[in-house]
C-alpha cells in the first residue's frame, strides 16, 4: 500500500501527444491506480515531451531535484521500456532518489541501479573495443593523427584542425556552464539562495550527498563552490 510523498513523471514523445492526452492519460491512470488506497500525497506531476531517443530530459531533472528536496518517491507508469533507456537509468542511479514503477512495484531503485550498471558496462565495452581497434590500426602502420592545415607535409600528432580543437574547448566550457547552471537551479528548487556563501552551500550540498561536477566525490570544498558560482 502506497504511503508518503510522491512525484509522478510522465513522458510523451510529441507535442501532439501532449496536447491530445494520447498516452499520457493512460500513464496518469496507472499512477492513480498504484497510489489508490494508503496514506500518500502526490505532490506534483511532471510531464516530459521528448523523444525516447534523445538524452536531454529537463523535466526528469526537475522531478529528481524535487524528490531530493522534499524526500519524495519518484513514480512512473511503466517500467518495461526503461531497461533500454541508459540515460534515464543512470540519472536515477546517480540521483539516489527513491523510485517505483506503477506497473512493476518491485522494480525499485535497486533494480534501476543494477540495470544502470549493465548500461555502464556496455558503454565501457564499446569504448574498449574502439581503443583496441585503434591499437590494431596503428600496429598495421596506419597513421593516426592529422597534418598542419597550412603545411600538409607537417604532421602535428593530433586529430582534427586547430578550429576543431577550439570547438572542442568551447563545447567543454559550454558543458561545464550547463552543469553549473543546473546546480544553481537545484539550489533554488531546494529553497536556498544562490547568493548564499560558498561555505554554507558546500555544507548543504555535502550533507545532501550531491555529486561534485567531476562526479568523483560528494564532498564539496569551498573552492569547488566558488568555481561553480563563477559560471553563474
- CA 7 to each of CA 111, 175, 183, 200: distance values in angstroms, whole numbers, following the listed order: 19, 28, 20, 28
pLDDT digits (tens, 9 = 90+) for 19-42: 555 578 888 998 998 888 767 889
CATH superfamily of the 3-115 domain: Resolvase, N-terminal catalytic domain (3.40.50.1390)
Over 70: is that where the pLDDT of 147 sits? no
Centre a 10 Å sphere on the Cβ of residue 211 and count the other Cβ atoms it contains: 16
Q: What is the pLDDT of residue 100?
A: 85
Over 70: is that where the pLDDT of 101 sits? yes
Q: What is the mean pLDDT of the chain?
A: 77
Who contacts 225 (Cβ-Cβ below 8 Å, separation ≥6)? Answer: 198, 199, 201, 202, 205
Query: How far is Cα 135 from Cα 90, in angstroms, rounded to an integer?
Result: 30
**201's grid cell:** 552551500
Over 80: is that where the pLDDT of 198 sits? yes
| Verdict on whether the full-model pTM lies above 0.85 | no
Answer whether 92's CB lies under 8 Å from 85's CB. no
Given pLDDT bands bounded at 50, 70 and 90, which one contains residue 8? very high
Q: Half-sphere exposure (CA, 13 Å, Cβ side) for 202?
A: 15
CATH 3.40.50.1390 range(s) for the chain read 3-115
Who contacts 35 (Cβ-Cβ below 8 Å, separation ≥6)? Answer: 2, 6, 42, 75
Q: What is the percentage of the chain residues whose pLDDT exceeds 90? A: 14
Given pLDDT bands bounded at 50, 70 and 90, which one contains residue 196? very high
Amino acid at each position: 500500500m502506497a504511503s508518503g510523498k510522491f512525484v509522478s513523471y510522465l513522458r510523451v514523445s510529441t507535442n501532439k501527444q501532449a496536447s491530445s492526452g494520447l498516452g499520457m492519460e493512460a500513464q496518469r491512470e496507472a499512477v492513480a491506480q498504484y497510489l489508490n488506497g494508503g496514506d500518500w500525497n502526490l505532490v506534483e506531476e511532471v510531464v516530459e515531451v521528448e523523444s525516447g531517443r534523445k538524452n536531454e530530459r529537463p523535466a526528469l531533472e526537475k522531478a529528481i531535484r524535487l524528490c531530493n528536496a522534499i524526500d519524495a518517491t519518484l513514480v512512473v507508469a511503466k517500467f518495461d521500456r526503461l531497461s533500454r533507456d541508459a540515460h534515464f537509468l543512470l540519472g536515477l542511479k546517480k540521483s539516489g532518489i527513491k523510485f517505483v514503477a506503477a506497473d512493476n512495484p518491485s522494480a525499485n531503485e535497486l533494480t534501476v541501479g543494477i540495470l544502470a550498471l549493465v548500461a555502464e558496462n556496455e558503454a565501457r565495452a564499446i569504448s574498449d573495443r574502439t581503443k583496441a581497434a585503434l591499437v590494431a590500426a596503428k600496429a598495421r602502420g596506419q597513421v593516426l593523427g592529422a597534418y598542419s592545415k597550412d603545411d600538409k607535409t607537417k604532421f602535428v600528432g593530433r586529430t582534427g584542425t586547430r578550429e576543431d580543437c577550439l570547438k572542442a574547448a568551447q563545447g567543454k566550457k559550454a558543458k561545464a556552464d550547463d552543469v553549473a547552471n543546473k546546480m544553481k537551479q537545484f539550489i533554488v528548487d531546494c529553497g536556498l539562495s544562490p547568493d548564499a556563501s560558498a561555505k554554507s552551500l558546500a555544507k548543504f550540498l555535502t550533507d545532501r550527498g550531491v555529486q561534485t561536477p567531476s562526479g568523483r566525490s560528494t564532498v564539496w570544498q569551498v573552492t569547488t563552490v566558488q568555481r561553480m558560482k563563477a559560471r553563474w
